[in-house]
Structure 1
Amino acid sequence: MAAEVLSAAGHPVVIAEAMPSPARKFLMAGKSGLNLTKDEPAQAFVARLQGGVAPAPVPGAPPGYFGEEELRAIVAGFGPAEVMDWARGLGVELFTGSTGRVFPIRMKASPLLRAWLARLGGQKVTLRTRWRWTGFGGGLAFDTPEGPRTIRAGVTVLALGGASWPRLGSDAAWVPWLREVGAGVAPFRPANMGFRVDWSPAMTPLQGAAVKGTRLSAGDLDSRGEWVITRGGIEGGAVYEISAVLRDGAEAGVDLMPDLDVGALAARLARPRGRLSVGNWLRRALRDPVKVALLLEWGRPLPVDAATLAARIKALPLRHAGPMGLERAISSAGGIEATALTRGLELRALPGIFAAGEMLDWEAPTGGYLLTACLATGHHAGLAAARHLRQRA
């Protein structure tokens, strides 16, 4: 995105890509349907950009964390409406789902990426693959297929990603180089991740099962989406929505029957059990074997009276053993601190060098927020880099 802004301003641009092909995490994001953005007012959009924890400064966040004020200014220049216009300008038709999430009609990322690369090529943008940045040394040093190379550029935009899914290319190898020049970089932590659970053997048959029709709660956040029971824990959209506060120590609960109040559920549970086993009786009451399995896993010992059991079903403790690692996290928290950057995302320690995307110390939930904010920071850094070149001319 920064390259598009700079090239549109008439500047020749080189994109140095470490991997054999570009935008691998972008393509991964579109594997199950590319959620480009969320069609909602800018104010509501920004309020969700910190994992649902607002307003700025985020309570308990370390100094240098990007707060709502900084992100509001960035998203104001390239928010949901601009993202949608940008995609349509590349010939990609979009649709908005019932939750406001915006997707390409074809759902995939690859057609959009092909059109984007073609447009960049027409704007004098050169893509060089297998060019791995190795640090500063009289410029920007690279290992390339042709041997070591150094580039001395008028401006540089670093868009090296955070530390999640390192096999896609973002391995945070750049952190020591920026710290050496005095730029503050907060340690990386997983974001939008699953949580480890030490399941009992009784849960083995349910590995891969989707959990539907529940409400997850942690801190001030609630989520009604689906989630999945895996061999090592829980993952999925509903879990990701509350992952930031859950990671940071908030207790979580599961309402297995969110569409029934306690009284109605207690009345259902008060019916005579007859000769049914406890498991079969609960399956008849909850009408979902996955919910019954979770109740038996996390809710024992089960209360005897119907009212207390109903309350347990409505507020089942979510028992976990901590977040899954960065290697499986959708994104990462941590990165270059806001105090190390100007409002144009220029590194104070390195004039003429800008940063964008997951390199920055912020996090956002899935659902279009993360991708839109990455595009917005790239757009913002590109505009600031173009101004820098004009001022030097």
Structure 2
Amino acid sequence: MHRKPIFPLATEQANNSYSLLLTRYYRRIRPSMCHHATAPTAPIAIIGAGPAGLFAAELLSKRGYQVHLYDHMARPGRKLLMAGRSGLNLTHSEPLETFLTRYGPARHWLEPALRAFSPTDLQNWAEGLGTPCFVGSSGRVFLHSLKASPLLRQWLARLQQQGVQLFPHHKLIGQEGLTLTFQTPKGGVTQPASAVILALGGSSWSRLGSDGQWASLLTPYCTPFAPSNCGFMPDWPDDVLTRHEGATLRGVTLSFAGQTKRGDLIITKRGLEGAPLYALSAPLREALAQNHPRPITLHLSLRPTLKADAIRERLARQRLRESRSNKLRKALGLDRTMRELLTLLCPEARSPDELTQAITHLPLTLTAPAALDRAISTAGGVKQDALDEHLMFHHQPGLFACGEMLDWEAPTGGYLLQGCFSTAYLCAEGVHLWLSSALPGKLPA
């Protein structure tokens, strides 16, 4: 069946000239990575046009490979554009040794990729696309444009110039060896490939393309998906959530299992959202799974910048005849939402000592994480032991995976995008090594 790509092929003359330059460069600079016997007869297939897939396509097409990029959505980078609505936090500027710790148990797996393509490398890459970055007060790295569309526009233009062919509306429904089957609006299409990179994303925000349905094709090699960087449902009456929907508890801290995280909490009709919950989502999710069906309790501090003695002293100075609500408002500036939560969760607290304890250790009981599709990211996906150190599947030589479809999670703050770019870099290097090897099915030592 004839399939018309969005990006046309570069001319044969341009491809040949570019390949010759690349070959000369790698023979001179990196001779160990240049032992092609012959060029691949079939294109490299990359499935998924999110950040990981786009970056792998860029790296491999830059080396002179023919790359076909498939996606089941109409346009590439849909989730990236959504992330850009809040400024596109590209990465983080903290020292690399600190940066690596943010990946928790997955650090030992991702560290080679993060060192191979570091946060500094990612900033330089964005600058090279003509999209300058800046470091915010929190250390997070943002684009000056504060949106993803200029970067994506320049990126797609670069891929077009490098000869990448993009095929939208191609949903992967089968894979046998390195032959892929897609469902398209015009029916099924079968495409052989010289190597395959899966960059299919996680299982949140399905309307943007990450629906996780690919897992059914790789069931033996996957861990079930779970929400990460997500909101949680408190055990509050529904009318409390409805009445205070959109209210923000500013500058509070949450404490759980020896960890304390500060930030804003937002009340929605679906529960609580916000940075402190996102940062604690992994231990909270695991505790809820272990305690199921019982809820878990963590503690909320409404005024974390004040010591308990200072809070007690301010409350004690209030007139005895003042209502509890007025005391809290005048002494500590607690807004209506905070005062109502104190009434809901600690109705008996009246004395300065009791109120101080409630304000600094307000019990917050959670019953469940938010729905998987509403999570910012997901845990679960392709297991580490299913892949080698180059992110190639053990069971199928030439089949690779990268990005959020791998079983790792990280907090918000630039770590998610960085992980996608870095694993795509490692994956692209692995594909190049595999195609350069004289031993089929085996990477060179």
Using the size of structure 1 for normalisation, the TM-score is 0.91
Give distance in 1, aligned partners of 2:341 and 2:368. 18
Q: Tell me how far apart the structure 1 counterparts of residues 244 and 200 of structure 2 sit (CA, whole Å).
A: 38
Instruction: Report the equivalent of 1:54.
Output: none
2:302 pairs with 1:256: yes
Deviation at 1:221, TM superposition (A): 2.6
Q: For 2:95 and 2:297, locate their aligned partners in 1 and report how far apart those are by CA, in whole Å.
A: 30
The 5 A counterparts of 1:62-211 are 67-137=106-176, 139-179=179-219, 183-200=220-237, 201-202=239-240, 204-211=242-249
Distance 2:194 2:431 in 1: 9
Q: Which residue of 1 aligns with 2:30?
A: none
CA contact (8 A) 2:302 2:338 kept: yes
1:30 aligned residue = 84
**RCO higher in structure (CA 8 A, sep ≥6):** 1
Query: Which structure shows the higher helix fraction?
Result: 2
Letter in 2 for 1:213: G
- Cα displacement string for residues 312-331 of structure 1 (whole angstroms, at most 9, x for unaligned residues): 21111122221001110011
In 1, the alpha carbon distance for the partners of 2:111 and 2:96 equals 8
| Equivalence map 1:220-369=2 (5 Å) | 220-249=258-287, 251-289=297-335, 290-302=337-349, 304-369=350-415
Per-residue CA deviation, residues 109-129 of structure 1 (Å, 9 max, x unaligned), is 111111111101111111111
In structure 2, C-alpha distance between the alignment counterparts of 1:294 and 1:97, rounded to whole Å: 33
What code does the residue aligned with 1:197 have? P
Unaligned runs of 5+ in 2: 1-54, 288-295, 440-445
Rounded to whole Å, the distance in 1 between the matches of 2:356 and 2:173 is: 59
8 Å Cα contact 1:197-1:232 kept in structure 2: no
1:186 is aligned with what amino acid? Answer: T
CA distance in 2, matches of 1:232, 1:16: 35
Pairwise CA distance, 1:203 = 5.2
Q: CA deviation at 1:251?
A: 4.2
Question: Which blocks of at least 5 consecutive residues in structure 1 are unaligned?
Answer: 51-57, 59-66
AA aligned opposite 2:168: T
Query: CA 1:109–1:220 in 2, change beyond 3 Å: closer, same or farther?
Result: farther
Please point out which of 64, 69, 72 is paired with 1:15: 69
Deviations 1:20-42 (A, max 9, x none): 11111111111121000011111
Offset from partner CA, 1:282-319 (integer Å, 9 cap, x none): 222220213222222323332x3312321221111122
Tell whether the 8 Å contact from 2:132 to 2:144 is kept in structure 1 after alignment. yes
Aligned to 1:218: 256
- CA-to-partner distance for each residue in 1:115-154, whole Å, 9 max, x for gaps? 1111011111111110111112471001123432111111
Relative to structure 1, the CA distance from residue 77 to residue 251 in structure 2 (aligned partners, 3 Å threshold; closer, same or farther) is farther
What is aligned with 1:62? none
CA–CA distance in structure 2, aligned partners of residues 17 and 352 of structure 1: 20
Alpha-carbon distance between aligned partners in 1 of 2:246 and 2:298, rounded to the nearest angstrom: 21
Given that 2:61 and 2:164 are in contact with CA atoms closer than 8 Å, whether structure 1 keeps it comes out as yes
Q: By how many angstroms is 1:338 displaced? A: 0.3
Residue 392 (structure 1) shift = 4.6
| CA–CA separation in structure 1 for the residues paired with 2:240 and 2:159 | 54
Structure 2 counterpart SS, 1:322: strand
Per the TM alignment, residue 209 of structure 1 is displaced from its structure 2 partner at its CA by: 1.0
Q: Which residue of the partner structure matches residue 433 of structure 2?
A: 387
Greater C-alpha Rg: 2
> How far 1:74 sits from its partner (Å)?
1.1
The whole-number CA distance in structure 2 between the counterparts of 1:148 and 1:287 is: 63
Amino acid at match of 1:269: L
The alpha carbon displacement at 1:277 in A equals 2.2
Task: Mark the CA change 1:73 to 1:340 in structure 2 (over 3 Å): closer, same or farther.
Answer: same
CA contact (8 A) 1:227 1:237 kept: yes
Aligned residue pairs total 374
